[in-house]
């Protein structure tokens, strides 16, 4: 297969891949419902998620908790985390305003709720626990590694303490219920935690597909998405040992992780009238005898998709960095990307470094591709003679062609197969650059100040299109079908226009890859010329 056909194949494969992604977005996304916000909290039953407890949700005092990476706002009514500001991530490039993940606004609700229900629960239809806190603002001091803030509620001789533990450099929060039963009888409670989120529509496009919705992990599924649309169709009800639930968006995630030694019930529910969805877990009943003290533990992650940190919080939580089916290639590529960045301290240069390493590793396939193309080109005169001799006798023509390939020891698919084998690696790189929060607002040089955004002046896409055009012109041109020739001449322009909206990091990769391919192609062809296997027919 000649180089131009190779470019056509890889272009069609890549475009098909992007169209498939966009189809997944278009047909797996709920449409927003415009209704007036009515406050409520939903807790699904342990059995099926159908027993909904509608709890009044007014507002108590807002308490601020802060460490070195985020600032939280916690409502004393229920102890819900109603806002999280990520101090190391700007809302917009150079805005100096922290990115807000959790938020409790009328038009966009995204809060992390937790409490105790069951026989002696403190969250009931009559109302939620209204905690007492000694202070308004709590901040991790420079000489501290841990900030502990207790929220206290007393009921019928039982002291309930909801304790938030923030650690230095960590986006995970320990949220523990300490129950001190000072009454004369045993009590029974069941812990729950859930994320409440407005039903929204994904804003991804064909160049940058994104997912906003739920996900969970269970004994049967290490990681599985459960979209808002799926929640509206059927409530999730999964009983599992350990597990976790989460809500994802591009680059960021919030997740509740229950006690991993317990059997937990994962659930979802939706309130279409109020335009909200819930995904959460309910833990097993805990009996606290009179005079005893027990602790029920959980963790809340609210922050960027940092794979190493998330993996330390819960098994498979790092899979929320979703590389799709190419994850087994993307993970080592991401490791390589971060390793090179640790040496050069520039993500753009790291992308160039990864491209060099990948192209070097694939050089044997590239050489096999161009060698096969050269051998096929040598046979063009004989094949043309066969076409003239056998005319419309396609069966005889096919037989003679296969005989010729066998005699000359040429594989007609030899140029195509290496190209197909390279596609999974390219797709893995595509997902690596798309999913890595490390590239968000990461500068390269000069006008490229955000590798996750499109080139503001479209310089990289234009250079990429020019490199594709140059690659075509430098490739030997066999006798080609006129229609195919027109398509191939149009391909660089089409790709250049298409890449105008791509993240500049991805365009940088493609540009560097093209330049390396040009160099490799010339080196291979010069070697073949010395062996008499290649002649230029321009």
Per residue, what are the HEC states of 276-345? EEEEEEECCCEEECCCCEEEECEEEEEEECCHHHHHHHCCCHHHHCCCHHHHHHHHHHHHHHHHHHHHHC
Total number of residues shown for the chain? 538
pLDDT of residue 402: 85
Phi, psi of 213 (to 5 degrees): 170, -170
Phi, psi of 409 (to 5 degrees): 55, 50
Residue 514 has pLDDT above 70, yes or no: yes
Helix (H) or strand (E) holding 382: helix 380-390
pLDDT of residue 42: 42
pLDDT of residue 439: 92
| Strands 263-271 and 158-167, sheet pairing | unpaired
pLDDT of residue 503: 87
State the virtual CA torsion across 258, 264, 265, 269 in degrees, nearest 10: 0
Strand partners, 532: none
pLDDT of residue 15: 55
Q: Percent of the chain beyond pLDDT 90? A: 56
Residues 97-136: pLDDT tens digits? 999 999 999 889 999 999 999 999 999 888 999 999 999 9
Residue 484 has pLDDT above 90, yes or no: no
Cα Rg of the chain (Å, integer): 29
User: What does the alpha-carbon distance between residue 455 and residue 222 come to, in Å, rounded to a whole number?
Assistant: 37
- Average pLDDT taken over every residue of the chain: 84
Q: Sketch out the chain's domains with CATH numbers.
A: 54-322 (2.70.98.90), 334-531 (no CATH)
Strand partners, 198: 276
Taking the mean position of all CA atoms in its chain, how far away is CA 328? 14
Residues 176-215: pLDDT tens digits? 999 999 999 999 999 999 999 999 866 555 566 788 999 9
Of residues 324, 309, 294, the one with CA closest to residue 255: 309
DSSP reduced 3-state for 79: coil
Residues 296-317: pLDDT tens digits? 999 999 999 999 999 999 999 9
Residue 19 has pLDDT above 70, yes or no: no
Q: CB count, 10 Å around CB of 403?
A: 11
User: What does the alpha-carbon distance between residue 453 and residue 447 come to, in Å, rounded to a whole number?
Assistant: 12
Residues 341-374: pLDDT tens digits? 999 999 999 999 999 999 999 888 888 777 777 7
**In sequence order, which residues have a C-beta less than 8 Å from that of residue 512 and are 6 or more positions away?**
351, 352, 355, 356
pLDDT of residue 205: 58
Of residues 277, 355, 353, the one with CA closest to residue 511: 355
| Strands 172-181 and 293-296, sheet pairing | antiparallel
Is the distance from CB of 238 to CB of 46 less than 8 angstroms?
A: no
Q: What is the pTM of this model?
A: 0.82
pLDDT of residue 10: 55
Residue 528 has pLDDT above 80, yes or no: no
Of residues 214, 211, 223, 219, the one with CA closest to residue 316: 223
């Amino acid at each position: 297969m000649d180089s131009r056909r190779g470019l056509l194949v890889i272009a069609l494969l890549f475009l098909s891949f992007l169209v498939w992604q966009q189809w997944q977005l278009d047909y797996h996304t709920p449409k927003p419902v415009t209704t007036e916000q009515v406050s409520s909290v939903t807790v699904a039953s342990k059995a099926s998620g159908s027993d909904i407890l509608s709890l009044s949700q007014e507002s108590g005092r807002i308490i601020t908790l802060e460490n070195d990476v985020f600032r939280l706002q916690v409502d004393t009514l229920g102890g819900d985390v109603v806002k999280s500001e990520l101090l190391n991530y700007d809302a917009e490039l150079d805005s100096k305003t922290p990115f807000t993940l959790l938020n409790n606004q009328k038009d966009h609700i995204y809060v992390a709720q937790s409490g105790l229900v069951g026989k002696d629960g403190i969250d009931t239809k009559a109302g939620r626990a209204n905690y007492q806190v000694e202070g308004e603002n709590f901040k991790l001091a420079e000489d501290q590694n841990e900030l502990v803030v207790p929220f206290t509620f007393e009921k019928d001789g039982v002291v309930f303490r909801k304790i938030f533990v923030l650690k230095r450099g960590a986006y995970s929060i320990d949220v523990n219920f300490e129950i001190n039963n000072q009454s004369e009888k045993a009590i029974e409670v069941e812990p729950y935690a859930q994320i409440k989120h407005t039903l929204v529509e994904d804003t991804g496009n064909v160049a940058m597909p994104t997912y906003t919705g739920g996900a969970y992990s269970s004994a049967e599924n290490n990681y599985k998405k459960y979209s808002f649309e799926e929640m509206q169709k059927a409530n999730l009800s999964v009983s599992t040992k350990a597990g976790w639930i989460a809500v994802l968006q591009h680059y960021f995630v919030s997740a509740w992780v229950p006690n991993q030694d317990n059997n937990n019930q994962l659930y979802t529910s939706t309130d279409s009238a109020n335009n909200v969805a819930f995904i959460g877990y309910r833990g097993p009943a805990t009996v606290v005898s009179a005079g005893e003290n027990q602790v029920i533990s959980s963790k809340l992650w609210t922050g960027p998709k940092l794979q190493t940190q998330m993996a330390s919080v819960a098994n498979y939580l790092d899979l929320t960095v979703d590389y799709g089916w190419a994850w087994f290639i993307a993970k080592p590529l991401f490791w390589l990307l971060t390793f090179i960045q640790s040496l050069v301290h520039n993500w753009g240069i790291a992308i160039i470094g990864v491209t060099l390493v990948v192209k070097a590793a694939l050089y044997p396939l590239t050489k096999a591709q161009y060698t096969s193309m050269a051998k096929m080109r040598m046979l063009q005169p004989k094949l043309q003679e066969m076409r003239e001799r056998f005319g419309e006798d396609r069966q005889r023509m096919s037989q003679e062609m296969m005989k010729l390939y066998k005699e000359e020891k040429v594989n007609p698919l030899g140029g195509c197969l290496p190209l197909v084998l390279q596609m999974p690696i390219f797709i893995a790189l595509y997902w690596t650059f798309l999913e890595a929060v490390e590239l968000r607002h990461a500068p390269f040089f000069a006008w490229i100040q955000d590798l996750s955004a499109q080139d503001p002046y479209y310089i990289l896409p234009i250079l990429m299109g020019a490199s594709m055009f140059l690659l075509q012109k430098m490739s030997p041109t066999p006798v080609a079908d006129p229609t195919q020739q027109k398509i191939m001449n149009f391909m660089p322009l089409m790709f250049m226009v298409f890449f105008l909206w791509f993240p500049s990091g991805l365009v940088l990769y493609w540009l560097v890859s093209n330049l390396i391919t040009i160099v490799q192609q010339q080196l291979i062809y010069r070697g073949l010329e010395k062996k008499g296997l290649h002649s230029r027919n321009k």
